[in-house]
Amino acid sequence: MLSVAALLNVMTFLGIFVCQSTGEELPSINYWEITLDLVRSVEMQAAISISPEQRKQLLAFRSRKDLGDLLHQKAVEFQESGVTDVTHAPFHKMDGVVRNELSKILRVEQLNLFKLVKMRSKFATGYSPFMDQEILGVLKLSRMESEKMKTVLERATTSYLRDLEKSLFLRTMEIADALPVESQDLLGVYAGKLVPLIGVTSDVDFHSIPYPSFVKSISTVSMVCTEQFQREAGLSQEQIKQLNLLNSECSLDNFSKQNKHKTITEYWQYMNGYAYTEVKKILNKEQLFLAARIQAGGEFRMNPVAPLSRPEFLAFLRIPEAQIEAIRAVAKEETVRHQSTIKELNRDTFDQIANTLPETARLKIFKLFENVWK
């Protein structure tokens, strides 16, 4: 278990990575994973005011062969060591190099916001810190205190998820309602039944739908292995068995066991194509369609600005050119409203749970999450 002393030391980020106003830092958070989130997430880019040129530099930085080789080396060392402590994992062992490179790309004020972004990435909801073993190790609650917190946590989580669903539903309704009727029908084809006004049409060529690239990648393997999908899709026991084997085969742990691909980037690119090819052999057309709809629908609900920025998606929905910008404006406006709602919801939920803790634990967790949801 991590010591309180280790967690409560004020850590510096190679000199300029100092931000005293953001409290303490968790050792388990690493910079390599966060840079991936940073180049993928529009919200994270906006939070740190990343310019298009900086994003391009971050993408180039993550694609560098020397970093891929370093990650490979650290992964092999980690696997051979038998150590299970997450702070010794390959991503963490190369943190110094990553932080040094980031200091060349990001401005000082952006670097000072970086820790907040990391914490928001690791703890996406106001209740998630209280379910994290590392955080619980810091708090050191007694059994009675833990039971009391769990009761409050359960109540607060239920309330949070209900309010989150309301906000997501409202945003999806507003955007869908701004679409022409024909486009609403096509959105139903694309993503299934998102809101009451959208029906579901199944008489369509699945391969003609311009689904985002992640639908035809390793992410589909993870999704189709969930019990919820397997029940909804009516998978047979044989299909489930084959998918579980494929999921194990796609593990990053297998990278060091092969010799064909020299870097993790090459290996992952290969596995993305391989995984989806194998999924298509296991699932039938209707099941594949359902898997694509669930993922595409999830993206539309969670980040509608992304699909509305893709020309092929707009063309599929047959949105008239004259209406595109107005619909995008609705999506952006609703996204800002939703983000504001979630930020307030996170803060209120966190405070509600934290304020029931004993004084010492309460002060620790407020310090650790200072300014995270402001």
Same domain, yes or no: 114 and 226:
no
**Amino acid (one-letter) located at 40:** R
Q: In this structure, is residue 39 part of a structural domain? A: yes
Query: What total number of domains does the chain contain?
Result: 2
Amino acid identity of residue 364, one-letter, is K
pLDDT of residue 12 exceeding 80, the answer is: no
Kind and range of the H or E run holding 83 = none
**Which pLDDT belongs to residue 89?**
53
- Poorest-pLDDT segment among 45-54, 94-103, 147-156, 267-276: 94-103
In a domain, 213, yes or no: yes
pTM: 0.69
Question: Pick from 81, 98, 122: which residue ends a domain?
Answer: 122
pLDDT, one tens digit per residue, over 285-307 is 889 989 999 999 999 999 999 99
17 pLDDT band (50/70/90 cuts)?
very low
| Domain assignment of residue 133, yes or no | no
Judgement on whether residues 190 and 301 belong to the same structural domain of the protein: yes
Residues 114 and 200 in one domain: no
Note whether residue 303 is domain-resident. Answer: yes
Same domain assignment for residues 13 and 88: yes
If asked whether residues 306 and 191 sit together in one domain, one would say: yes
Q: Does the pLDDT of residue 57 top 70, yes or no?
A: yes
- Could you say which of 293, 318, 343 is where a domain stops? 318
Of 3-17, 46-60, 98-112, 199-213, which has the strongest mean pLDDT?
A: 46-60
Residues 108 and 226 in one domain: no
End of a domain among 73, 95, 122?
122
Q: Is residue 239 part of a domain?
A: yes
The reply to whether 193 and 98 lie within a common domain is no
Residue 213 burial (10 A CB sphere; 0-12, 13-18, 19+): exposed
Compute how many other C-beta atoms are within 10 angstroms of the C-beta atom of residue 69.
14
The answer to whether residue 74 is domain-embedded is: yes
Residue 154, pLDDT above cutoff 90: yes
Listed in sequence order, the DSSP H helices in the chain are 4-8, 31-40, 42-48, 52-62, 65-81, 90-93, 95-105, 108-122, 133-139, 143-178, 181-191, 218-224, 227-233, 237-249, 264-282, 285-302, 305-308, 311-317, 321-354, 359-368
- What's the CA gap between 327 and 289, in Å, rounded? 26
Q: Is the dihedral of CA 121, 124, 126, 131 positive or negative?
A: negative
* Domain of 28, in residue numbers: 1-122
Same domain, 204 and 282: yes
Quote the DSSP letter at residue 208.
G
In a domain, 141, yes or no: no
Rounded mean pLDDT, 255-266: 74
Question: Do 308 and 232 share a domain, yes or no?
Answer: yes
At residue 203, does pLDDT exceed 80? no
Does residue 158 belong to any structural domain of this protein?
no
The average pLDDT across 94-109 equals 81
